[in-house]
Structure 1
Amino acid sequence: MFGDFFLIIFGMALGAAGGYALHRYVNSKRLADSQGLADRIVQEARKEAEAMKKEIRLQAQDEVYALKKEQENEYKEMERGLRKQEARLQEKEERLEKKLEKVANKESEVVTLEKRMIKQEKKLEDLREGLERRKDEHERKLQEVSGLTVEEARDKLMTEIESRTRHEAAKMVRSIEMEAKEEGSRKARKILALAIQRYSGDYVNEQTVTAVALPSEDMKGRIIGREGRNIRALEAATGVDLIIDDTPETVVLSAYSPLRREVAKQALERLIHDGRIHPARIEDIVNKVEQEMDVKLREIGEQATFDVGVHGIHPEIVKLIGQLQYRTSFSQNVLQHSLEVAFLCGIMAAELGMDEKMAKRAGLLHDIGKAVDHEIEGPHAVIGADLAKKHGESKEIIHAIQAHHEDVPPLSILATLVQAADSLSGARPGARKELLENYVKRLEELENVATGFDGVSKAYAIQAGREIRVMVDAEKVTDDNTHMLCKDIATKIENNMTYPGQIRVTVIRERRSVGYAK
């Protein structure tokens, strides 16, 4: 039994030793195979690295060659550019050398000319000195002969030339004026006289205040209202000042604009008749009156266009014409003035063979700027021309409106007619009023302007300052010089004075000889 166990143990030991030997053999075999495989991989990697190294070296050589080639080409191009620049510089240098030669030649010529000039200047200086000596000798001889100095002789000669020139000019002016008067005076006077005779408008004197009658004294307190709220509301709504004083049963409305006074008057009369006077009612009544006044203004404008006989005027222009009923100029009603100008223009245009309707249209519209000149800055003629242009009036009408006060020069017969008719309507006796102080001041200034001229002995302003008669000294002023003196006085009046219409200047020269028979 023990032997069997030993055999078993020996067999197991022998099996273990054989297994170990087998395992070791297998491991050594695998290690040998792995070593061979690793050697082969290393050799292949070295071959590939050598190949890549050669390829990289070849590529680097190619790039170096290409860069070297490109650099050589750039150097060649730069060399060619430098050669061209060198050639151009050489060419410029040659041209500069030629110019320097020319400059040198010019300098030598200039030097030669300077020498000649110096010689000529010396000769001229000698001649000038000789002339001065001769001049002094001649002046000395002339002074000895005439007994006058050079200044006295010059002044005398200038005075004689001026006197002779003014005399000749006066003769020429007188001749031209006589010819013009003979040709145009008769016809012009006929046309103007006919126009004035055929139409003479009624003059309406507009006031700056309007009185409203009250049914009783108690109404004043109701108009004023509690703590004055009613009167403040009425003044704010109408833009008119209400004057309530001790005048029995009367309220005075004061405003520069007649249109505002009329609105305030109608509104106040309706409030008095209605009896309900409070701020809300006042505002309502004033709004209604203003709406009705717009309708009335349009009716007034339409009536004016109908009276004149012109049609096709824009409704806004018609309304502006109606507003002229409530505008004044030197206390002359502007609508009445515009109607006068329209009729005068029509009459003169008919006499001259022009378009009568266009002339009337221009005359009626010439002052429409005055309807809004208190709201828009500028001369009323320019404002009116802008309004006419805005509402489609013709160029002739626009120019006539703009030129009737010479804001622009009149370039047409129509513009001249409107200008003349405007002066006629404004300058006729009784058309306009002025303050007494301004009137007297203007007459004094007119006489002072005339007496300021040499040779004038007396001057009298007559016909309300529309004519001045100038008396001259017959010893100082000749007949021919009276025409020049008349024009000089008229020009000075135009430049230094402001006046409506025109002023006639009459120069009178009289020589009297008195003798006695015994």
Structure 2
Amino acid sequence: MPATLPPPTAILAEVPPGLYLLAAGALVVGFAAGLWAGWLWAARRGRGLISRAQEIGERLVEEARGQADQEARALLAQAEEEAERRIRNWEQEEQRRREALEQAEQEAERRHRRLVDRDRALARRDQLLSGRERDLEKRQEELDAARRRIADLEEQVLVRLEETAELGRDEAKRQLMEEVRAEARRAAAADLRAIKDELQRTSELEAQKIIALAVERLSSDFSAERAVSTVPLPDQNMRGRIIGAEGRNIRAFENLTGMQLVLDDAPDHVIVSGFNPIRREVARRSLERLIEGGTIHPRKIQQVVHQVRRKVDEEIVAAGRKVIEEFGLDGVHPEMVELLGRLRYRTSYGQNVLAHVREAARICGIMAAELRLDQKLAERAALFHDIGKAVDFEQEGTHPEIGGEIARRCGEHEVVVNAIESHHEDCEVIHPISVLVAAADAISGSRPGARRRTTVDYIRRIAKLEELGRAFDGVRTCYALQAGRELRVIVGADRVSDDDAALLSHDLAKRIQEEMDYPGRIKVTVIREVRAQAVAR
């Protein structure tokens, strides 16, 4: 078995007591020596640290003093610069103030001198005005005296003239006024001639070009139609059937159609008389159906008239829609469509109005395109320009007035309304398209074969035209040429000058416009010819 160690207490009990005392003394001596050695080391080290701290402090103080000196010098230099800058600014401001004050003093001095000069000028002007006023008063007195003398002399001259010429004062004034008027007319004629020449040079060629181009491009296939108002009879017995027992059939027919039947003028046909072209067309077709069927009595008449009226109404709307589609118009009121279709049965001087407005619309559209205007708007305006003729026999007023009112009510463009109302110069034109519509209307109505007139109307118009030409002073004779589209006037060279001839043509054309109704236009040509004759023997 291993050996066992004795407990600590047993070991301590075996140590001698003197040894404890010796160990304690050694411990105390060692502690004291350690304290003395530590104090010495700390003292020596403290003296080294203090010396180094002193050196550092001295160095920092020196550095701080140097830096403070530098900053102080910098601040001093900056303060000196700021002071110098402020002094310079103050001196500059003071200089500007002195200059401004000097300028103000100079301006005040100039104003003072101007005021003094103005006062002197006003004083001189007052003196001059006072002198002039005295001169004017003196001259006025002299003028009044001279006027009195002139009045006395005029009275004496008038008395002598009356005694010499045996003319009264009123007669002399009249002759003087006539001479003044004649002189003014001659001057106006010269100016008018110059203006006409200038306008013709600048506008006639261009206008002729545009109109000729429009007419050439218009492939017109319209023929002059007019509503037929006569119905042929197959035999004499049909007259009795139309009249009926005690006139019942003819009374029923006239009451239903609103037209009058004339049976006494010719034995082989019946005349349908009335102002309404739609009703006249209904009456004509109804009568033809009754004659073709052979059975005529009031009930049959009522049935046929009702069927024909419904058929005609459908044709009217279809004709209006066809024309609208032909020109590609949008937003047309149904009333305008119906009225346009009614123009199919309306004629003017033998020309079918629907064909006329279609032709005018084509011409107007071509001219608008050449002038770079709105072609669709021009065609629309020309197509509706005679819309009033569809109802002018039912309403009071001219067809331009009625048509303009209808177009305005149906919401048409203001240019269209103005073109309708102004195409016969009944109101002022507000747009170039209105002028084109009037021109297209005249071209369509005046082209050869467009309209027909009776022989009596033609002769009456030619006679009236020549009568107006002969009514002017200095006219020897005049002739209507080209079916009344030109009037040539021969004047005496001894009574009418060149300027008077120009004025005569203008006055005659204006009088023809005011007093005559005619299609298209009439050209007035005044010819002044000097003839010299001699006989050789």
1:478 maps to which residue?
497
1:365 maps to which residue?
384
What is the aligned counterpart of 1:226 among 237, 245, 248?
245
Question: What TM-score comes out, normalization by structure 2 length?
Answer: 0.65
**Residue 396 of structure 1: how far off its partner (Å):** 1.2
**Residue 264 of structure 1: how far off its partner (Å):** 2.3
**2:211 is aligned with 1:211:** no
Q: Which moves more between the two structures, 328-337 or 259-268? A: 259-268
Change (3 A) 1:282 1:444: closer
2:362 maps to which residue?
343
**2:471 is aligned with 1:447:** no
Query: Would the aligned equivalents of 1:212 and 1:265 in 2 still touch at CA under 8 Å?
Result: no
Change (3 A) 1:285 1:441: closer
Where does structure 2 lack aligned partners over 5 or more consecutive residues? Answer: 1-139
Partner-residue secondary structure (3-state), 2:458: helix
Where does structure 1 lack aligned partners over 5 or more consecutive residues? Answer: 1-123
Query: Would the aligned equivalents of 2:226 and 2:352 in 1 still touch at CA under 8 Å?
Result: yes
**Residue 133 of structure 1: how far off its partner (Å):** 4.4
1:197 maps to which residue?
216
User: Which of these two proteins has the greater Rg computed from alpha carbons?
Assistant: 2
2:336 maps to which residue?
317
Change (3 A) 1:348 1:148: farther
**Residue 157 of structure 1: how far off its partner (Å):** 6.7
Alignment of 1:64-213 (within 5 A): 131-133=147-149, 135-137=151-153, 162-199=181-218, 200-207=220-227, 209-213=229-233
Matched residues, number: 393
Query: Would the aligned equivalents of 1:341 and 1:422 in 2 still touch at CA under 8 Å?
Result: yes
**2:440 is aligned with 1:421:** yes
Partner-residue secondary structure (3-state), 1:507: strand
Partner-residue secondary structure (3-state), 2:231: strand
**Residue 516 of structure 1: how far off its partner (Å):** 7.4
Query: Would the aligned equivalents of 1:468 and 1:503 in 2 still touch at CA under 8 Å?
Result: yes
2:519 maps to which residue?
500
1:82 maps to which residue?
none
Instruction: State the alpha-carbon separation in 2 of the partners of residues 160 and 329 from structure 1.
Output: 48
Instruction: State the alpha-carbon separation in 1 of the partners of residues 238 and 172 from structure 2.
Output: 90
**2:263 is aligned with 1:280:** no
Partner-residue secondary structure (3-state), 1:429: coil
Q: Which moves more between the two structures, 428-437 or 132-141? A: 132-141
Instruction: State the alpha-carbon separation in 2 of the partners of residues 361 and 246 from structure 1.
Output: 44
Q: Partner letter of residue 278 of structure 2?
A: L
Change (3 A) 1:505 1:148: farther
**Residue 184 of structure 1: how far off its partner (Å):** 0.7
**Residue 189 of structure 1: how far off its partner (Å):** 0.8
Q: Partner letter of residue 283 of structure 2?
A: A
Change (3 A) 1:475 1:443: same
Query: Would the aligned equivalents of 2:259 and 2:272 in 1 still touch at CA under 8 Å?
Result: yes
1:43 maps to which residue?
none
2:421 maps to which residue?
402
**2:302 is aligned with 1:293:** no
Instruction: State the alpha-carbon separation in 2 of the partners of residues 129 and 240 from structure 1.
Output: 86
**Per-residue CA distance 1:7-57 (angstroms, 9 max, x = gap):** xxxxxxxxxxxxxxxxxxxxxxxxxxxxxxxxxxxxxxxxxxxxxxxxxxx
Instruction: State the alpha-carbon separation in 1 of the partners of residues 247 and 173 from structure 2.
Output: 83
RMSD of aligned alpha carbons:
3.5
1:512 maps to which residue?
531
Q: Partner letter of residue 464 of structure 2?
A: E
Question: What TM-score comes out, normalization by structure 1 length?
Answer: 0.67
Query: Would the aligned equivalents of 1:170 and 1:483 in 2 still touch at CA under 8 Å?
Result: yes
Q: Partner letter of residue 368 of structure 1?
A: I
Q: Partner letter of residue 476 of structure 1?
A: R
Q: Partner letter of residue 261 of structure 2?
A: L
**2:386 is aligned with 1:379:** no
**Per-residue CA distance 1:153-200 (angstroms, 9 max, x = gap):** 977876665555444333322222222111111010111222223334
Query: Would the aligned equivalents of 1:461 and 1:467 in 2 still touch at CA under 8 Å?
Result: yes
**Residue 252 of structure 1: how far off its partner (Å):** 4.5
Change (3 A) 1:248 1:157: closer
**Residue 262 of structure 1: how far off its partner (Å):** 2.6
**Residue 427 of structure 1: how far off its partner (Å):** 2.2
**Per-residue CA distance 1:330-350 (angstroms, 9 max, x = gap):** 222111111121111112111
